Structure 1
Amino acid sequence: MLEALLFDLDGTLTDTDQLHLLAMQQLLLEEGRVLTEAQFNAHISGRANADLCRYLFPNQSLAEHQAFAERKEARFRALSPTLQPMSGLLRLLEHGEQAGLGMAVVTNAPRANAVHMLAAMGLTGRFAHVLVAEELPRAKPDPLPYLTGLECLQARASHALAFEDSLPGVTAASQAGIFTVGVSTSQAPEALLAAGARLVVADFDDPQLWALIERMSV
């Protein structure tokens, strides 16, 4: 019996990767650096700020990493005063509420971004928990954020669904033992499947997703 739905935020509840890419490109260009979309998809998308800063600035200090991350997130928030929920998301949330399912957001984004994004989509208060990986000992791709989400919802991994668009996120959710649905906003379906997704959809309207939910609800 389905007990819980756990959602990544960026690229899953709303398609934000291009905004994050633009924010980083703008800031790096001010330093004379160019960041390509291919580099972003391979090394940055879905990763916590600490990890992506180590990739971008391997020789800089932790304080410099934190300062860049704060500038980048502030730029992203300025670029996203409103955000559009992924197609079919509101239908899925309504179904979860009517069925009494536990629902949580599990994100590598910082708390300020999570609060901003949910408000920009009009989804403030729709989730029982908003878990921010930076507030935990380990972020995705470690399974800890999803294991913590299950614990908060008092749900079993075998009775839950996770939704993720990034490779670190899919890895984290699948290693937590959750049936993971890949959302192909930022990665190819083949890459999501290779990372551990058991189903890949373009959005939450996909008939395959609703057939899965029906099977798990019996």
Structure 2
Amino acid sequence: MSGDGTGRAVLFDVDGTLVDTTYLHTVAWWEALRQAGRRVPMSVIHRTIGMGSDQLLARFLGEDRDPEEAAAVSAAHHTLYAEYWPRLAPLDKAAELLRACADRGWTVVLASSARGDELEAMRRAVGADEAVTAATSSDDVEASKPAPDLVRSALDQARATPDRAVFVGDTVWDVAACERAGVPCVGVLSGGITRRELEEAGAAEVYENPADLLAHLDASLLARHSRGG
């Protein structure tokens, strides 16, 4: 895709969509909160993964949270999660999916609620940067998912309008952000959120994982949308 505003863009979430990190984040947040004396079940934390850390901390520490406590929990999560960076594993066929999209002429942009350094670690794990036109992270926006800022930033990076883009993500927060930005969202189940939850949130299609989407790519919304269908 040319990236001149005349082509089509495919925007990808990364955590849980391209890289198998959802449960690593769950454990890291659970331990960071535990260190602060906050006992939150992992099952509850898992449902918040995909939000930006600002949104997650507001949920668990309260809107009137102590800024010092919030900063300490966030720093602890970052330190704990960073221990996994050398061992991060891409989901099956994630790199091939990005390359297949680029080969079809679609502009590929990554849109992650992760911090910039976390996103770089995941990009190294995927190993398909030659297929990626641009990337945006929580460092680049004022509000993270489910706010639409990241999706809009990715659209700007792709030089595309909402009607000429499709987003691929694994959480209801991705779907919510896309709805607010006017971009259709294709869901994947690789982050542990159920098909029913994604569909009820508004996902246009749902696939098992990147490999499943790749196998059906030319019949998917991504391809139909690129043809104006």
Q: Secondary structure at the match of 1:138?
A: coil
- 5+ unaligned residues in a row in structure 1: which ranges? none
Identify the match of residue 194 of structure 1 among 173, 192, 200.
200
SS in 1 for 2:86: coil
Task: Tell me: CA distance 1:109–1:128, structure 2 relative to 1, closer, same or farther (3 Å).
Answer: same
The more displaced of 103-112 and 207-216 is 207-216
Displacement after TM superposition at 1:126 (Å): 4.2
Q: For residues 61 and 52 of structure 1, what CA distance do their matches in structure 2 show?
A: 14
Cα deviation, residue 48, structure 1: 1.0
Structure 2, unpaired ranges of 5+:
1-5
Deviation at 1:109, TM superposition (A): 0.9
Over 3 Å counting, the alpha-carbon distance change for 1:137 and 1:32 in structure 2 is closer
Report the Cα offset of residue 14 of structure 1. 1.1
1:134-177 Cα distance to aligned partner (Å, 9 max, x none): 43122211222212211221123222221111111111113322
Q: Which amino acid aligns with 1:54?
A: A
Q: Summarize the alignment of residues 19-30 of structure 1 with structure 2, pairs less than 5 Å apart.
A: 19-30=24-35
1:106 aligns with 2:111: yes
Secondary structure of the 2:90 match is coil
Q: RMSD of the alignment, in Å?
A: 2.2
Q: Tell whether the 8 Å contact from 1:28 to 1:35 is kept in structure 2 after alignment.
A: yes
Partner of 2:96: 91
TM norm structure 1 = 0.88
Q: Distance in 2 between matches of 1:66 and 1:31?
A: 11
Q: Residues of 1 paired with 2:76 and 2:167: CA distance?
A: 30
TM-score computed with the length of structure 2 as normaliser: 0.84
Matched residue count: 217
- The equivalent position to 1:8 in structure 2, one of 3, 8, 13, is 13
Distance in 1 of aligned mates of 2:68 and 2:133: 33
Correspondence for 2:149? 144
The 8 Å contact of residues 133 and 145 in structure 1, kept in 2 or not, is answered as yes
Q: Are 1:179 and 2:184 matched, yes or no?
A: yes
In the alignment, the residues of structure 2 paired with residue 160 and residue 9 of structure 1 have an alpha-carbon distance, to the nearest angstrom, of 17
- Identical-residue share of aligned pairs (%): 25
For residues 21 and 217 of structure 1, what CA distance do their matches in structure 2 show? 35
